[in-house]
């Protein structure tokens, strides 16, 4: 750690708002897309089954700071770093950079590993398979 | 039949796009909100359980015609009419009217009643309870 | 201050995800809806024109903590409190409560008043009209 | 004509709903993404300026038929064909295919070329530059 991952993502028309820029809530969707692409890059999925248990990763907290707007069809570079892995929780940060290397935004998410079943979610120690992949 | 239902719905900021109007794909979300509010008005839910069976209503087809744009904070009047109920399928139309009574859009959706379980969806005759409520 | 405002908002189908609960990013959309409803309750709009100037409120930072999931068709009670008003910036917090009074989530947003024109955004002292309405 | 374009697009978590599949309204967003990628592949943009005129493409009508659901992290192959170009209008169809070549959905959109300015939209003959690129 920190484990890193980078992805490029174009701003889509439906993600803009009447101010002509990407709507602030859509950064959270992109942040999640980066996280899931990162999991896939490790051969994992955020919605995987391990030994018959359906794993899930609900959010505990998430935040974003905005430095500069980004427009339709511009490309966001999204750089993820895992900054903390606890017993059941995982924290990562994502830096968003614009086409001219300008700082666009920075996000941070803490999520918790759970077992999902009919009754809901139960907190779960991050399984070793996942832990080892993230620790690299 | 036709069974009718009317609802008013304000256009939200996140639903607009850089052209300053409600994004065309959001009409489909609003159409679905009207349909679900209609079901609730009958004491039903689109995600209900009947005799242990989880009911679902996946779409078969959906369409929308656009006559005039609508802007942030304007109110859409949404008028739903059920136009056809088959063995397993249900078709409804929604007319969208703007604040000055101008015609904004008109949509149409056909969906099919299914039983949802682990293996997926199985087509289901619309249960009598639902059928009677819709027939009024 | 703090100025307060409360609104009830039902969770829509399209806002859920495969885990069966409202997707975490949608809290930011709801937070914005509450803020805009609050502005309207004061006779204001977040997209208003004052003396020929188009006002906007881009976000500086936003965050949310999640305590308990909420499901399709459940009603969220959303309680907004303005907690800080600076020269150009405005901070508010929103508490989300579920049907059984359980604490669902809590968000916080800081935004800045700007003048919007062809060249982009310019930071602006919060106009007196808006300031007075918020101070009550 | 028909001019064709193909793109692959992974289903994101936020695009699923509680039924565990991509929400039906999101096909319209993907359809638009394909259309915009097609325009870019021709060296065009749907939000371009030509000789000082801001061009836009509001929808006249759009529809989708659904054959088979698609799930989180599956890849949709999206195949666009322009089927009609009138004086101001453009129609295209998109076929969505799943990972195992199964037919997932098929959409169709008619949009109209407009000049966008302060007063709104004015219908516009499709400019020759765009017409030639589409005719190939």
Burial of B95 per CB tally in 10 Å (0-12, 13-18, 19+): middle
pLDDT tens for each residue of B71-82: 999 999 999 999
Q: How confident is the model at residue B118 (pLDDT cuts 50, 70, 90)?
A: confident
CB-nearest to B25 from D25, D58, D65 is D25
The C-alpha angle D27, D30, D36, rounded to 5 degrees, equals 145
Domains of chain C: 4-135 (3.10.129.10)
Chain mean pLDDT for chain D = 95
Which pLDDT belongs to residue C117? 87
Q: What is the mean pLDDT of residues A88-116?
A: 97
Is the pTM higher than 0.90? yes
Q: How confident is the model at residue C119 (pLDDT cuts 50, 70, 90)?
A: confident
Residues of B contacting chain D (CB within 8 angstroms) = 18-19, 21, 24-26, 28-29, 32, 47, 56, 58-66, 69, 116, 120-121
Which pLDDT belongs to residue A101? 96
Chain mean pLDDT for chain A = 95
C43's CB contacts (< 8 A; 6+ apart) are C133
pLDDT at D1 over 60: no
pLDDT tens for each residue of D69-124: 999 999 999 999 999 999 999 999 999 999 999 999 999 999 999 998 888 899 99
pLDDT at B1 over 70: no
pLDDT tens for each residue of C93-116: 999 999 999 999 999 999 999 998
Give chain B positions within 8 Å (CB) of A72.
Answer: 18
Neighbours of chain B (3+ CB pairs under 8 A): A, C, D
Which pLDDT belongs to residue C2? 63
pLDDT at A2 over 70: no
Q: How many CB atoms lie within 10 A of CB C24?
A: 26
pLDDT at C1 over 60: no
Give chain A positions within 8 Å (CB) of C66.
Answer: 58-61
**Proportion of chain B above pLDDT 70, given as a percent:** 99
Q: How many CB atoms lie within 10 A of CB A41?
A: 14
Q: What are phi and psi of D113, to 5 degrees?
A: -80, 130
Which pLDDT belongs to residue A43? 95
Which pLDDT belongs to residue B2? 62
């Amino acid at each position: 750690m920190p484990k890193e991952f980078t992805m490029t993502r174009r701003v889509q028309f439906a993600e803009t708002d009447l101010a002509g820029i990407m709507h602030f809530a859509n950064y959270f969707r992109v942040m999640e897309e980066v996280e899931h692409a990162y999991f896939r890059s490790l051969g994992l999925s955020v919605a995987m089954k391990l030994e018959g248990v359906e794993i899930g990763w609900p959010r505990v907290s998430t935040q974003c700071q905005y430095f500069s707007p980004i427009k339709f069809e511009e490309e966001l570079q999204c750089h993820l770093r895992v900054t903390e892995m606890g017993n059941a929780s995982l924290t990562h940060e994502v830096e968003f950079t614009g086409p001219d290397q300008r700082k666009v935004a920075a996000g941070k998410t803490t999520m918790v590993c759970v077992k999902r079943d009919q009754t809901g979610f139960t907190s779960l120690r991050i399984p070793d398979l996942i832990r080892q992949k993230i620790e690299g």
